[in-house]
Amino acid sequence: MKYIFGLLSFLWLTQTATASFHVPDSTGIEILMGVEDDEQKDITDDLDKLLQSWYIKNYVSISDDPQDNSVYQPVVLNDSVLAAQLGKIASPFSMDYNEQVRDFINLYVNKRRKQVGYMLGLSEYYFPMFESVFDKHQIPLELKYLSIIESALNPRAVSPVGASGLWQFMYATGKIYKLEVNSFVDDRRDPLKSTEAAAQFLSSLYSIYKDWTLVIAAYNCGPGNVNKAIKRSGGKTNFWDIYNYLPKETRGYVPAFIAATYAFHYYDQYYIRPKKMNLPIMSDTMQIDAQLHFEQVASMINMPVEQLRELNPQYKLDIIPGSPEKPYTLIIPHEYSLAYIEKKDTIFCHLDSVYFAERRVYVPGSTSVASNVQSSNTNDLSPITYIIKSGDNLGLIAGWYDVTISNLKDWNNIHKNYLKAGRKLTIYVPKHKATHYASINKMSLSQKRRLGQSTAPSKASQTASTSNIKSTGKPGDFIYYTVKKGDNFWNISQKYPGVSNTDIMELNNISDPSSLRPGQTLKIKRKS
């Protein structure tokens, strides 16, 4: 489902459809020698990417079966046999047989039969999950085969236009169906959550068309395009009657679905054998209410970290950003769940200083953490307000409040380093120090500068040779420099022997040299 959700209609970007030529053999029975054209290319791309996925390369148990899926003679396809076999499949869909369907059957059972073997193995893990969700929403269980043509059962599948996951949600559409996407998490790759979203979307389409075949087409190209096709056909509502009026890339979507259903029912007749996967059939779900790294879990309960990644593909950086206010789930194979429960407290503490640079605590309503709190209880935090003054920068403010720049950005939805005077910032601080930190907002610039000095300010403080530089005059003390028009980090560093532009940027927690602005105040440590 590679689409973008509109206000009144949907626009989908997609995959599918086919064309091939047929060469009669000496018996007069056609052997499909299929030629893949642009309409079929997206599906074959997804199937080929499955072979390149990390899971297939590293976590598949290759059977000792002497009948290797990759070594075979092309199977002769007989039209009358295929039509009869399709007619025997119990389904709420019309399993029509025609040239378009035959071309896709050839794709699955001849040209990409090895990938079908892998998908059959993966289906043992994913299909029970899909069926459970679809049953809850009273959706035909056969719609599970849509995942075959959407992603080839690869939860990390990404389309050229950015659709992601087993059901290929675009970012905006995922948001509509409450799928969280941020730096740590992408719920479009969460098998259960994305299937729930797909079920809701399919159900909404059925309320429009009352025909599951049209629902499949609309899932691909959007109800807007299906409605246009119906209108152009003179009001006909049979898929094959509106076939020629649909977008080219959508015409093969229903035939591909029928062919995938066929291949999963009759694969054994084509010497295709399911590849054994090591995804556990039985697993347990743990609630994670604090930040946790996969390596902490894997090393403490002696399980492969790769298996955690495959069971929890929604976590992009191997980090679960849990908090008491917003816990996240972790899927663990059943055989490891008891060890996890017994060692839970130790797991969260294990090498936390290695995986997380600071002891971090999440704050209410935030995806970030406070670094100035030693307790793991967010009830110890209190929000205070700071009003930005002229000359302030994120590095200075973070230093005054003993938090990180990332904290400030996340708490206040700041995406750039430039700050506008007068803006209010929310900062979370320990409750027992709230009065002290709240007073910073009323301090003068000179008072706030003293907060960052490594020693108490001397009464002998003097003005440095440059008029806009103020310093205590002692090596090791901090100098505060107000940026002027035309300044950059290099020419500022030249004013102070032994100080580099990198020193200034690191001390002020600035990573982007282009963020420098006139009036900004920089803290500089004297080295001579």
Tens place of pLDDT for every residue, the chain, 528 residues? Answer: 654 333 233 333 233 333 222 323 322 233 333 434 555 666 666 666 665 554 555 545 444 444 555 556 778 899 999 999 999 999 888 899 999 999 999 999 998 888 899 999 999 999 999 999 999 999 999 999 999 999 999 999 888 888 899 999 989 889 999 999 998 999 999 999 999 999 999 999 999 999 999 999 999 888 999 999 999 999 999 999 999 999 988 888 999 999 999 999 999 999 899 988 777 778 899 999 889 999 999 989 999 888 899 899 999 989 999 988 899 999 999 999 999 999 988 888 887 666 765 444 445 444 444 444 433 344 567 889 999 988 788 878 888 888 877 778 778 877 766 778 888 998 988 888 888 889 999 888 878 877 654 333 333 333 333 334 343 344 456 778 888 877 877 778 778 877 877 778 778 777 666 677 777 778 888 765
Task: Give the strands of the sheet with 462-463, arranged side by side.
Answer: 462-463, 469-471, 478-482, 521-525
What pLDDT does 14 receive? 31
Which ranges in 141-232 belong to alpha helices (H)?
A: 146-151, 171-176, 191-209, 212-221, 223-232
What pLDDT does 203 receive? 95
Domains of the chain: 3-24+36-273 (1.10.530.10), 283-356 (no CATH), 369-451 (3.10.350.10), 462-525 (3.10.350.10)
Q: Which two tokens stand for residue 473?
A: 């005059």
How many CB atoms neighbour CB 286 within 10 A?
18
Residues 149, 155 contacting (CB under 8 angstroms): no
What pLDDT does 466 receive? 32
Residues 6+ apart with CB under 8 A from 184: 315, 316, 317, 319, 320, 321, 367
DSSP, residue by residue, 123-150: HHHHHHHHHHHHHHTT--GGGGGHHHHH
What pLDDT does 512 receive? 63
Closest CA to 428 of 366, 383, 398: 383
What pLDDT does 70 receive? 52
